[in-house]
Structure 1
């Protein structure tokens, strides 16, 4: 098969897998849209629980009551279809990987999905109550805290993304070590820079209270250390095992 035909076949396969991913996402989105308001109510609980008695959220734009549930349904559909989407990506790239890389990537894909969801759960159950407790606690006397539902959704989605990505640190560390991009000794030497960077990221992606910044920075640092430990164990196991034919040379 010529290079041109091979390239075209890869493009066709990529198109098919993107189409499958999109169709599954749309199908799940359509199923979830009728329940979008219930999902939003669940997402709003950390804020509603901190509002004074009789407090509520508001919609300041005409189209907000429609577009906010749509965004909620899209977010839920993205999370539910994430395993399928990652499977399509995995199926597309796996033929071009060596056998030892295919053996490594499947657990990493599973771990990255699980860690992202754990990061979101950490933000929802631990961080958001602290953040909203701080925000409502500093409101001046006589000021009613009534958050716009669209602004609230954008805020929590940003926190979900920040903590979800932060929890991916062990996967990133394991990958760069096992693929030979960085040595474990170099990662240990960079520990001080990582700690400083974690607190900088905490200051950027969280509200201005110190506690919520620490709640992002400390897990980020600990996950970095966990990634170094796991990468060291896996690297020793790989070095001690017989090399596969595609690893030699």
Structure 2
């Protein structure tokens, strides 16, 4: 499983969260605690918003702990909203195109989890992606496919409903293929101003996802970057964390899925 963090708040240098803490994301790339695999060395990526509406992206196939450019970049870039991700592949190749976060215009998306039996439904899943979005598919991961399908389902307009619809479609493909393995999903999505974080699994065993609010700033992580007692709360299972200007709320992803037509 991968590890990631998302930050929204007053502008800070990226290294304050990505590199500096005792259990920073770079440290987690070598020594993750709350993941099936301790090492997340199949590439990394950061995406950040600056003076322009579209984010900057830096992705690399080297492990995060061994890339001196990552630390230098994080020491110089200041942002009010950024994503960072270290990857542990679930079967697809280690290429730059498969590293997170994924971008489409002003939107960023990153994912941790798995589609059980992905190889058996990959072609049918990709067939649900419209041509104009499929042209943007550069890699081979289930994560990128989910992102593009969610965009087709209206992710920018209805981030919770669109993601619920997408997960329901993927689960339907798995059921049709007779796949018994689980669909487990945590992810983060942003339009550059607002932030959504999702935690869901068909077997009620989603990957870990935590958040902390401090002085108006929001941090969402796969696992805490410091002592777990320092204000961290779990995103509830089957829910989505929604951060808009001045508010952080929790919406039920399960309820959104239940309201959708079969």
Q: TM-score range by the shorter chain?
A: under 0.3
Greater share of residues in strand = 2
TM-score (norm 2): 0.27
Larger of the two Rg values belongs to structure = 1
TM-score (norm 1): 0.28
